[in-house]
Amino acid sequence: MPRQLDVCIVDDSPVQADIARALLERAGHKVTVYPVSRDALREIPARPPDCVLTDLMMPEVDGYELCRRLREVPQLATTKIIMMSTKAYPFERKRAFDLGANGYFVKPLHPATFAHELERIVTDALTMTFWGVRGTLPVSRPDARRYGGNTGCVSLEFADGHLFVFDAGTGIKALSDSLMAAKRSRIEGTIFITHPHWDHINALPFFVPFYVPGHQFEICGCKHGDVGVRELLSAQMDGVYFPVTVREFCASLTYRDLSEGTFEIAGVRVSTMLLSHPGNCLGYRVDHAGKSFCYVTDNELYPPESEFYSPEYVEHLADFTRGADVLITDCTYSDEEYPRKLGWGHSSVSQVVDLATRACPKRLYLIHHDPDQSDAAVDAKLTAARNVLAARGTPTEVVAPEELASFDV
C-alpha cells in the first residue's frame, strides 16, 4: 500500500462526497470534506493537503474557479488538484488541465479503480508495459513461450491516463485487447514509431481504438526524404496490401513528423536521436516529473575493432541516455552470433554493456531478440550482460522483460 494521503474533497453533493470519502478511507487515506467551496478556498491554504478532489459544478465558486485560485497559492504548488464531474466532454477535461488540474474523473466513480488511480496521480506514477519484445518476426514455438513471441511494442502510462506507445509491432494487438477489455473511454495517446520497417508498424491496423469514435491519438515518427509519417503508415493499408484503409479510422488521429531534437508532446518533454540503422530511425527519451525513460531500438553500435565503429556516435548516444531511470535497448544478438550479422543494424551483448557502462542507467532492459533465439538463449544474453556489468562495478540493474510484464519507472 502507498503512504497515507491527505485528501480534501470539495463537493456540494453529500451523496457523491460520501462515496468518494468511503472509497478513499477504505484505501487507508485521511479525508476532509468541504460541502461549500468558499470554505475550502479559505481553509485549504492554511494546511496544504496532498490532493484536492473537487466537483466541477458547484454554486458560487465552481470547480474551475476553485482550481484557478488554488493554483495561485504558492504553498499549494505541490498539491495535486483533481476534478470530478458527470460531464465527460473533452472540452471540460481540456479546460480543467489548462487551469492547472492534474487529473479528471468522470462520475460515477469506479469503486474498483478510483483510489488506485488517484494514488497514481498524486505520486506522478509512470508505468511501462512490454507488449512485445521480439525483433524482425513474431515467433510461436514451445521453446520461446516465456518471453513471448510478439514483436516490439512498449507502453508508458502517465498518472493522468495518457498513453505513450512505442512502436506498433504485433505486440500492439495485445495492448489493444487490454484497453478494450478495460472498456476505457476517450483514450488519449501518442504513438511513437522508431522507423517503418515491418516489425515496427505491421500491427497498427489491428489497434481497435483507432476504429472507435471519441478516442484521440497522435502518431509521431521520422520522415524518409519527402515521405511523411502519415504516408509511410497508410501505404501498408492502401487496399492492395490490406483490405482496410486509414479512411476507416473513426477516432481522432493526427500525425507529426519528427526530426532529431527536443519537443513538447502532450505536455511532456520528449527528445529524439537518429540511430545507427538502415534508413531514418529515431531513439526516444522522455523526461517527466523527475523521471527519465529511453527507448533505443533498432541500433548497431559495432565493436571497437570494426572499421565502422564511431567513438563520436557512441559518446553521443551515451550522452542521450545518460543517467536514465530506464534504458530499453536493442540487444538482438549474443556476442557469438554477431560476427555473422555485422551490418544488419542491430547490437550484441558486449556493445550494449559498453553503452550501459558509459551512460549508467539505473535499469537496462534488453529487447528485440532474434526470432531464432529460444528462451534459454535470451536467458544466456541476460546472464552475460549481468556478469560483465558486475565485473566492471557498474550498478545498473539488467532485466530481460517478458511479454506483458509491467514496471514502475
DSSP 164-214: EEE--STHHHHHHHHHHHTT--S-EEEEE-S---HHHHTTGGG-GGGGSTT
- CA angle, residues 309, 314, 318, in degrees to nearest 5: 165
| pLDDT for residue 138 | 96
DSSP, collapsed to helix, strand or coil, labels residue 257 as: strand
3-state secondary structure of 66: helix
Residue with cell 476504429: 211
Q: Strand order of the sheet with strand 326-330?
A: 261-265, 268-274, 282-288, 291-296, 326-330, 363-367, 397-399
Among candidates 39, 38, 30, which has minimal Cα distance to 8?
30
Residue 286 has pLDDT above 90, yes or no: yes
Place of cell 488506485: 116
CB-facing half-sphere around the CA of 297: CA atoms within 13 A: 33
Instruction: Report which of residues 1 and 305 the model is more confident about.
Output: 305
pLDDT confidence band for 243 (50 / 70 / 90): confident
Q: How far is CA 261 from CA 18, 189, 197, 265, 317, in A?
A: 48, 21, 22, 12, 13
Query: For residue 288, what is its C-alpha cell?
Result: 517527466
pTM of the model: 0.88
- What digits encode the pLDDT tens for the residues 330-344? 999 999 999 999 999
What mean pLDDT, rounded, does the chain reach? 95
**What does the pLDDT read at residue 247?**
86
What is the reported pLDDT for 201? 95
Q: What is the CATH number of domain 127-408?
A: 3.60.15.10
pLDDT at 125: 85
Question: What is the distance between the alpha carbons of residues 276 and 118, in angstroms, rounded to a whole number?
Answer: 41
Report CA torsion sign: 163, 362, 102, 20: positive
What architecture is the 6-122 domain classified under in CATH? 3-Layer(aba) Sandwich (3.40)
298: CB partners within 8 A, 6+ apart: 135, 194, 195, 197, 275, 277, 281, 330, 332, 345, 346, 368
55 — phi, psi (to 5°)? -70, 160
Would you place residue 300 in the very low, low, confident or very high pLDDT band (cuts 50, 70, 90)? very high
Report how many helices (DSSP H) and strands (DSSP E) the chain contains, helices first: 11, 19
Band the pLDDT of 356: cuts 50, 70, 90.
very high
Distance CA 36, CA 142 (A): 62
Q: How confident is the model at residue 143 (pLDDT cuts 50, 70, 90)?
A: very high
388 Rama sector, left if φ>0, alpha if ψ -120 to 50, beta otherwise: alpha
Indicate the pLDDT class of residue 1, thresholds 50, 70 and 90. Answer: low
- Dihedral-angle region of residue 393 (phi above 0 means left; psi in -120 to 50 means alpha; beta otherwise): left
- The per-residue pLDDT for 93 is 86
d(CA 206, CA 122): 34
Task: List every span in the chain annotated with CATH 3.60.15.10.
Answer: 127-408
Q: Among candidates 188, 249, 174, 177, which has minimal Cα distance to 213?
A: 249
Residues of the chain with CATH 3.40.50.2300: 6-122
% of the chain exceeding 90 in pLDDT:
87
Please state, in angstroms and rounded to a whole number, the distance separating the CA atoms of residues 162 and 81: 17
DSSP 325: S
Task: For residue 279, give every residue at least 6 positions away whose Cβ sits within 8 Å of its Cβ, in sequence order, or none.
Answer: 195, 196, 197, 224
**One-letter identity of residue 124:** D
C-alpha distances out from residue 327 to 9, 53, 71, 174, 315, Å: 39, 35, 34, 22, 15
Tens of pLDDT, residue by residue over 158-198, are: 988 899 999 999 999 999 999 999 888 889 999 999 999 99
Distance, in Å, from the CA atom of 389 to the CA atom of 385, rounded to the nearest integer, reads 6
> How many Cβ atoms from other residues are within 10 Å of residue 198's Cβ?
12
Which tens digit of pLDDT belongs to each residue from 119-137? 989 988 899 999 999 999 9
